[in-house]
Structure 1
Amino acid sequence: MSTAPVLTVGETMVLVAGTRHEPLQQGTPMSLGMGGAESNVAIGLRRLGTAAHWVGRVGDDSAGDLVERLLLGEGVQTTCLRDPSAPTGLMLKERRSTMETRVWYYRQASAGSRLAPGDVPDEAVTGAALVHLTGITAALSPSARALTLQVAALAAGSGVPVSFDLNYRAGLWSPDDARALYREILPLCTLVFAGDDEAAIAVGSAPDARTYARRLLDLGAGTAVVKRGADGALSSGPGGTHERPAVPVTVRDTIGAGDAFVAGYLADVVDGQDAATALGTAVAVGAYACTGDGDWEVLPRRREIARLLDPEPVSR
C-alpha cells in the first residue's frame, strides 16, 4: 500500500443548499458548505484511509477560507492558491422534492476557472501515488484545459498512474469540444471513468456497457470503468471484464454519488487490490453516498460500507 497521496486538481465552490424539500422561492432555510468533483473524491479517499492532496484556486475571500478549512478538517492535504482578483465559485442546490434536486453553478470568471499551467508543482505530480483529473476542470477555461493536459502528461511521463473521469457538463462546453479533449487525454490514462451518456460523447452510441468500455480502451486508456447508476457498473482492462450490480438503498440525494464511486475504486487501486475488488468497493461507496444529504458529508469509512448489507444497522 502506497503512503504517497492521490493528487486531485480542480475547482471547489461554496455550496448553498436548501435544507428542506421545497422550491427555493418558498424562502426555504439554507445551509452553507462546499462541493467540487475533485475535492469530493479527495474527501472520499481520506474517509477510506487513503492519503489525498487537493490543489485548486479559490478567491482571497471568506468563501475560500471556508473551502480550505473544510478540506483540512477532513485530513486532505490542501494547496489553496489564493486569487485576489477573482471570487470563489458558487453552487446553489434546490432540493425541490425527494424525487428532484436542481443545481445552479455560478463559476464564470471564478478563481477556479483561472487554473493554469504551472499552478500544480511538479513534485506534487511526480510524488503522487496516482493523479486524478476530470473533464469538469478541463472545461472551465482554455488555461484550465491546458493545465489538465500538462498534469496528465507529466504524471504519465513519470510513471505515475493517471485517472480521468469524463464528467461531462453540458453547461460548460459542447460535445465536440469535450470529445476532442477526451481523445487527447485518454492515451495518457491508466484509468478512465464514464457514464453511458458520457462514453457516447467520447466514442459514439453503443448498445451496451461492454462496447463502451472496449471503445474507450481502443482510444488508449488502460482500464475503462463504466458507471451505470441503478444498473451497477462494469470495468474492463488487463485483468479482464468485471460487472457488479447496484447495491439497493433508499435514495435521498444522488449528487456526489459518482465521485464517491471513483473514490472507492481508487482507494482499492492504491491499496493494491484487483479490479474486481475495486469495482465492488466503488459500487458500495457510491450507493452509500446516496443515503444522505450533501455532496460529500455522508461518504463512508471502511467500517461503514458493510452496513449496507447489515440487517440490523444499529451500532451498539
Structure 2
Amino acid sequence: MKLLGIGDNVLDDYRWRQELYPGGNSVNVPVLARRYDGSTAAYIGVLADDGAGLHFASALREEGVDISRVRVMHGISARNYIELDEAGDRHFVGNNGRETAQYQALLCLTPGDYAMMEQYDLAHTSIHSWLDAYHPAISRRVPLSLDFSGEYDRVNIAQLCPLLRFAFFSGGAASEEEVRALARTALDAGARTVVVTMGVRGSYLLEQGREHRQECVRADVVDALGAGDAFIAAFLAEYHAGGGDLADAAQKASVFAAQCCGHYGAFGHAMPHPDRCAGEQADLCL
C-alpha cells in the first residue's frame, strides 16, 4: 500500500543507555509498514536542525521514506525520556518541554501537502499531532487513520470518528467490557474500522456486522517501545493487501508486533546521547 504519515515525531531518550532513537506514532507507522511488506511510505512533519534532527532525517532516508514535504526548523528536537522498570517494560518519565522546534513551529498544511495526500492510499496521524483543525480537509482527500492512544473521551471520539476510516485506541488498563463499549462508541460515531489494543491481552476489532478478538501471539515479550505502532502498521498493510480480511490482518499484525519487541527504539537507528559527545567519544556524535 501507499501510506503517508502526518504529524508528530520525537526522539526517544533511553536514559540508562545514553542513546536517542527516532520515534513518534505518525513516523513509526509508515516506517514500520515499509519494513513489513515494502509499502510505499512518506512522512510530513517538522524536524529540528540540530544534530538529533539531522540524524532523524538521515534515518528516514535510510528507511526509504519520502521526506520531501518535511520542514526543517531552527531549534532543538523534541525528546521523551524513557526508563525501564524491573520487569523490563518501558515507561515515559517526562520530556524536554515546549522549547522545541516541533512545538514552536506547529505543522501547517499547504496545497502541496494536500496534493501529495491524493497520491496515497491512506494517511495516518495521531492524537498528539495537534492537527485537529486539519482532519476534515485531510479526510476529504485521502482515507484517514488516527491513533487516539490512551487519550480519548466522548468529545473527541464524537468529533473525529465521523472522519476516520480507521480508529485505533490503547486499552491496556481497561476491562473487556470497557474495551468493547469503547469500540462500539467509536463505531457508532462514524469510524468504519475500530481497533483497541490491550498489550499482552491482545486486541479487539470491530466493524459494522463483524468483530474479532485477537489473542496476543506471545505473552512473554516485553515492549521496549514501538510494539503498538508495529501492530498498526502491519494491520493496515495486511488489511489493504487482503481486501479487508479483519481476522487475518489482526493475526499477522500481532506476530509482527511481537517481533518488534526484540530491539530498542521503534525502528532502531540509535544516536549517542549528547552527554556522551565529549572527549574520546566525540567522534561518535553528529
2:30·2:233 contact (CA, 8 Å) conserved in 1? yes
Structure-to-structure mapping, 1:235-246, within 5 angstroms: 235-238=205-208, 240-246=210-216
2:6·2:124 contact (CA, 8 Å) conserved in 1? yes
Q: TM-score, normalised by structure 1?
A: 0.75
Q: Does residue 1:291 correspond to 2:262, yes or no?
A: yes
The corresponding residue for 1:112 is: 102
Report the Cα offset of residue 254 of structure 1: 3.9
2:43·2:66 contact (CA, 8 Å) conserved in 1? yes
1:105, 1:215 → 2: CA distance? 32
Identify which of 138, 162, 180 aligns with 2:155. Answer: 180
The corresponding residue for 1:137 is: 129
The corresponding residue for 2:277 is: none
Give the secondary-structure state (helix, strand or coil) at the position aligned to 1:296. coil
Q: Does residue 1:279 correspond to 2:250, yes or no?
A: yes
The corresponding residue for 2:278 is: none
1:247·1:284 contact (CA, 8 Å) conserved in 2? yes
The corresponding residue for 1:128 is: 120
- Seen in structure 2, the aligned counterparts of structure 1 residues 228 and 95 have a Cα distance that, compared at 3 Å, is closer
Structure-to-structure mapping, 1:165-314, within 5 angstroms: 165-168=147-150, 179-196=154-171, 207-238=177-208, 240-273=210-243, 274-297=245-268
Counting matched residue pairs gives 263
Identify which of 5, 13, 24 aligns with 2:10. Answer: 13
1:187, 1:197 → 2: CA distance? 24
1:254, 1:267 → 2: CA distance? 23
1:13·1:67 contact (CA, 8 Å) conserved in 2? no
Q: Cα deviations across residues 277-310 of structure 1 (Å, max 9, x unaligned)? A: 1111221122222233222239xxxxxxxxxxxx
Match for 2:28: what amino acid? Answer: N
Match for 2:19: what amino acid? Answer: S
Give the secondary-structure state (helix, strand or coil) at the position aligned to 2:70. strand
Q: Does residue 1:46 correspond to 2:34, yes or no?
A: yes
Greater CA drift, 102-111 or 67-76? 102-111
- Seen in structure 2, the aligned counterparts of structure 1 residues 255 and 127 have a Cα distance that, compared at 3 Å, is same
- Seen in structure 2, the aligned counterparts of structure 1 residues 50 and 39 have a Cα distance that, compared at 3 Å, is same
Report the Cα offset of residue 96 of structure 1: 4.5
Match for 2:62: what amino acid? Answer: G
- Seen in structure 2, the aligned counterparts of structure 1 residues 291 and 62 have a Cα distance that, compared at 3 Å, is closer
Match for 1:167: what amino acid? Answer: S
Greater CA drift, 248-257 or 35-44? 248-257
- Seen in structure 2, the aligned counterparts of structure 1 residues 6 and 227 have a Cα distance that, compared at 3 Å, is same
Structure 1 unaligned spans of 5+: 19-23, 139-143, 170-174, 299-316
Greater CA drift, 208-217 or 274-283? 208-217
Match for 1:287: what amino acid? Answer: A
Larger RCO (CA under 8 A, 6+ residues apart):
2
2:25·2:125 contact (CA, 8 Å) conserved in 1? no
2:146·2:164 contact (CA, 8 Å) conserved in 1? yes
Structure 2 unaligned spans of 5+: 270-286
The corresponding residue for 1:310 is: none
Question: What percent of counterpart residues are identical?
Answer: 27
Report the Cα offset of residue 100 of structure 1: 4.1
Q: TM-score, normalised by structure 2?
A: 0.82
Q: Cα deviations across residues 66-102 of structure 1 (Å, max 9, x unaligned)? A: 1100011111111320112x32212222234343433
Match for 1:162: what amino acid? Answer: L
1:153, 1:97 → 2: CA distance? 43
How much is the aligned-residue C-alpha RMSD, in angstroms?
A: 2.5
Hey, which bits of structure 1, 4+ residues long, moved more than 6 A?
Answer: none
- Seen in structure 2, the aligned counterparts of structure 1 residues 112 and 180 have a Cα distance that, compared at 3 Å, is farther
Greater CA drift, 178-187 or 239-248? 178-187
